[in-house]
Structure 1
Amino acid sequence: MAQFPLTTWMQTLVDYVRSGEPDLTNRQMALLLLVHLTNGPHTVRGLARGLGVSKPVVTRALNRLGALGYLRRQRDESDRRNIFVLLTTEGAKFLEQFGRLIAVDRGQRIAA
């Protein structure tokens, strides 16, 4: 029974690879999920702290996720030195589709 979660995760990843969606690294996926699942506002510094990595690591992942249209940077209008990281509609769609893969592989049904 201990292998069930790993088998489910493997099947989800296989389904993800077959989906044709862009391949994301674990860091990129963790960053995307952190922005989506935790309360903002999100900054590079705060995200680096949350992941336990350096700011350049977050910046590289953010550059890739930004190029894919999943996350975007927005300057803080009240303090122009701050840059916030926001989930885009495209990023939310990607995570919804990924969540559906997980649910299907766990034998759950999700309404469209």
Structure 2
Amino acid sequence: MGTLVGYVRSGDPDLTNRQMAILLLVGQTQGPHTVRGLASRLTVSKPVVTRALNKLASLGFLRRQRDEADKRNIFISVTERGGRFLERFQALIERSQPDPAPRTGALANRSPASGPLQQASSFERRIA
């Protein structure tokens, strides 16, 4: 929750879950990335990925580059601006890590290993 509240307060553009997932996939996994490959990894249609890419490209977070070897392929990569956005988001995750203080209520039985960073790495394992 702390990460999302920090994100809302940050003034960065509001991304949908789908846009964020695509940006994280491209930014944190080995490429090259294509629309077809992203659609397959997320189990969504290519038009769904294309719409998200259009928004991310308009924000300057991702760019499309035609493959010089095979003009039919278009590779997706993170821009410098997109990389800075991901770094700020990572910093929000790190700052919102729970204190080692005793937990109460609904969080009392939750292990520290299930915090945001652990969840992010399990996200990466699921999409890999």
Name the TM-score, length of structure 1 as normaliser.
0.86
Secondary structure class of the residue paired with 1:79: coil
**Deviation digits for residues 5-30 of structure 1 (CA, Å, limit 9, x no counterpart):** xxxxx111011000000000000000
Find the partner of 1:60 among 42, 51, 58. 51
CA distance in 2, matches of 1:20, 1:37: 23
1:31-70 alignment, distance < 5 Å: 31-70=22-61
Higher gyration radius (CA): 2
Give the Cα–Cα distance (whole angstroms) in 2 for the partners of residues 37 and 50 of structure 1: 13
RMSD: 1.1
Distance (Å, rounded) in 2 between the aligned partners of 1:39 and 1:50: 13
**Residue equivalent to 1:104:** 95
Alignment of 1:20 with 2:11, yes or no, is yes
Q: Are residues 1:93 and 2:93 paired?
A: no
- TM-score for both structures, normalised by structure 2: 0.75
- Aligned residue for 2:9, secondary structure, equals helix
Shift of residue 107, structure 1, vs aligned partner: 5.4
**Identity percentage of aligned residues:** 68
Count of equivalent residues: 99
Residue in 2 aligned with 1:11? 2
Runs of 4+ that moved beyond 3 A: none
1:7 corresponds to which residue?
none
List alignment gaps of at least 5 residues for structure 1: 1-9
Once the two structures are superposed, residues 63-88 of structure 1 have per-residue CA deviations (whole angstroms, 9 ceiling, x without a partner) of 00000000000000011111000110
- Letter of the 1:34 counterpart: L
